[in-house]
Amino acid sequence: MKVYMSADSSSQAIGTREIAEALTASAAQRALELTLVRTGSRGLYWLEPMLEVERDGRREAFGPLTPADVPGVLDALAAGHAHPRALGPVEALPEEQGQQRVNFRRCGVVAPGDWRDYLATGGMLGLRRALELGADGVVAAVTASGLRGRGGAGFPTGVKWRTTRAAAADTKFIVCNADEGDSGTFADRMLMEGDPLSLIEGMVIAGYAVGAAQGFIYLRSEYPLAREVLERAIETAYANGLLGADALGSGARFDVHLRLGAGAYICGEETSLLESLEGKRGTVRYKPPLPAMEGLFGKPTVVNNVITLATVPAILTDGAEAYAALGHGRSRGTLTLQLCGNVRRPGLYELPFGVTLGHVVQTLGGGSASGRPVRAVQVGGPLGAYFPVELFDTPLDYEAFAARGGMLGHGGVVVFDDTVDMLEQARFAMEFCALESCGKCTPCRIGSTRGAELIERMRGGARAQQLTLLEDLCEVMEQGSLCALGGLTPVPVRSAFKHFPEDFQPAAVAAAG
């Protein structure tokens, strides 16, 4: 019997390791020949720990399981009986939700870093197509696809690549920003642990397109399993000619180096990341010059997020038109949403841009895990706006969210029920900024500390005066900060007050305090 089970960090946190141990022991007791393949996750975390059993050429899922369920599942399979934990064909589960897996098509399907699995599921087709198109053709295809950076800014990837390609320099670099630090996000980690070769292939394509011979993956040290998987995948890529002196017979050299950051949130900002990668303290740089012109060690550098780079092979394989056909408005392709917090069905959902926030939270997520009414949703990480239920008709695309004072960021969606204290959430935003500020500019370094103090004083009264000061402070931080950390911290603060003013009323403050 051949079975599959996720071994990524999130699945293990839910208990897949214990299920795997119970499975092995139960099979041995029954003298059952069992092949257990450890994969990445499909992101269906509300069904984890989940076991997939291969029968008649397809996989059937069972979950969520406890170790005590395992003997009964094996007995049911042996006898051909139904089991209450049976979920049916696993491929149908995300499809029934309207998911369209582009970035995560292999996660949960292949053994991470297995070369034969990778080739069997379309790996390397993107690079082969890139070599057919030529460097200019690759840049044109990425531009035509409408791909925008998935790290948070949503900048057009093709424009960034074209800028670096046009820059005159003897050395250029590709840098993968794997410093995933937004609260409630895990898509980068899930992809690196589940399909690392797609990221490496994407970096090779990027290097070929802009004329770079070296790439760096900047990974946060809090991702030890991702590090292990990436290190094995890089070795596999060298052994099979994806990396090295002659990438897939292109005649071009490309090497990938893995570097660990220390986990500073600010190093998710591209210029701080470059400073850290050069061995310096992670502080933001002034712009211009942009990294695309003067980046790592002063050389033209493409800095892209994990999902952005890993999407490129699929775009070239399927065609730019196919990717651009998905989505809404100027937001093309798919969005990888990481749904978490107080929600019944947490997990990763890959959907075309344009579905509404309410559909994601209420229909896909099933509402709050507590069973209480959903009151607020924060989209885009700790610097994202809080959206009330009244704005659940907002389509998930960059422009629609911006029009309502929000941002999609890295696709993190955190759900809160009606017990949430929005004054406390506003205070947390300022405190987070104060803790994570690199300290280079005054509005961020000092403003965030003063902001946390102002909000704390509201609990003691004098609300009107404090709000005036807070609004002035938010304006200074927004307009005067060097980077997005200080500049965007006012977003959750202002949205909390705008949409939930009752939590800032003296009576509410007194009750909460």
Does residue 259 contact residue 219 with C-beta atoms inside 8 Å?
yes
Q: What is the mean pLDDT of residues 326-331?
A: 93
CB count within 10 Å of CB 75 equals: 13
pLDDT confidence of residue 202 = 98
CB count within 10 Å of CB 2 equals: 13
| Burial class of 361 by CB neighbour count within 10 A (0 to 12, 13 to 18, 19+) | buried
127 falls within a domain: yes
- What's the CATH code of the domain at 30? 3.40.30.10
Q: Residues 250-263: pLDDT tens digits?
A: 788 999 999 999 88
Structure tokens at 158: 């093709």
Q: Residues 491-504: pLDDT tens digits?
A: 999 999 999 999 98
510 falls within a domain: no
Q: Which of 281, 300, 324 is the last residue of a domain?
A: 324
3-state secondary structure at position 288: coil
Q: Whole-angstrom Cα distance, residue 245 to residue 253?
A: 4
Q: What is the mean pLDDT of residues 131-156?
A: 95
Q: Specify whether 353 is located in the same domain as 255.
A: no
Looking at residue 447, its amino acid is: G
Q: Whole-angstrom Cα distance, residue 377 to residue 193?
A: 28
pLDDT higher than 90, residue 3: yes
Q: Whole-angstrom Cα distance, residue 323 to residue 325?
A: 5
Looking at residue 288, its amino acid is: P
> Where does the pLDDT of residue 81 fall: very low under 50, low under 70, confident under 90, or very high at 90 and above?
very high
397 falls within a domain: yes
Q: Whole-angstrom Cα distance, residue 402 to residue 118?
A: 38
Q: Residues 211-252: pLDDT tens digits?
A: 999 999 999 999 999 999 999 999 999 999 999 998 878 788
Q: What is the mean pLDDT of residues 309-323?
A: 97
Q: Whole-angstrom Cα distance, residue 40 to residue 194?
A: 4
Q: Specify whether 56 is located in the same domain as 154.
A: no
Which positions ≥6 away from 462 have C-beta within 8 Å?
Answer: none
pLDDT confidence of residue 408 = 94
pLDDT higher than 60, residue 512: no
485 falls within a domain: yes
Structure tokens at 322: 């196919």
> Where does the pLDDT of residue 117 fall: very low under 50, low under 70, confident under 90, or very high at 90 and above?
very high
- What's the CATH code of the domain at 481? 1.20.1440.230
> Where does the pLDDT of residue 464 fall: very low under 50, low under 70, confident under 90, or very high at 90 and above?
confident
Q: Which of 324, 358, 391 is the last residue of a domain?
A: 324
pLDDT confidence of residue 122 = 97
Q: Specify whether 301 is located in the same domain as 177.
A: yes
Q: Specify whether 30 is located in the same domain as 79.
A: yes
Q: Specify whether 288 is located in the same domain as 199.
A: yes
19 falls within a domain: yes
Prior bond to 288 cis, omega within 30?
Answer: yes
Q: Specify whether 317 is located in the same domain as 349.
A: no
Looking at residue 102, its amino acid is: V
pLDDT confidence of residue 506 = 67
Does residue 357 contact residue 404 with C-beta atoms inside 8 Å?
no
pLDDT higher than 80, residue 460: no
429 falls within a domain: yes
pTM (two decimals): 0.95
pLDDT confidence of residue 492 = 97
The parent domain of residue 483 ranges over 422-504
Residue percentage of the chain with pLDDT more than 70: 98
Q: Specify whether 162 is located in the same domain as 222.
A: yes
Residue reference for tokens 């609260």: 183
Q: Specify whether 482 is located in the same domain as 336.
A: no
Q: Specify whether 187 is located in the same domain as 314.
A: yes
Q: Specify whether 146 is located in the same domain as 290.
A: yes
- What's the CATH code of the domain at 348? 3.10.20.600
Looking at residue 400, its amino acid is: A
58 falls within a domain: yes
pLDDT higher than 90, residue 16: yes
Edge-to-edge strands, sheet with 214-220: 255-261, 214-220, 173-178, 301-305
Q: Specify whether 150 is located in the same domain as 242.
A: yes
Q: Specify whether 319 is located in the same domain as 467.
A: no
> Where does the pLDDT of residue 510 fall: very low under 50, low under 70, confident under 90, or very high at 90 and above?
low
Q: Count of domains in the chain?
A: 4
Q: Residues 358-386: pLDDT tens digits?
A: 999 999 999 999 999 999 999 999 999 99
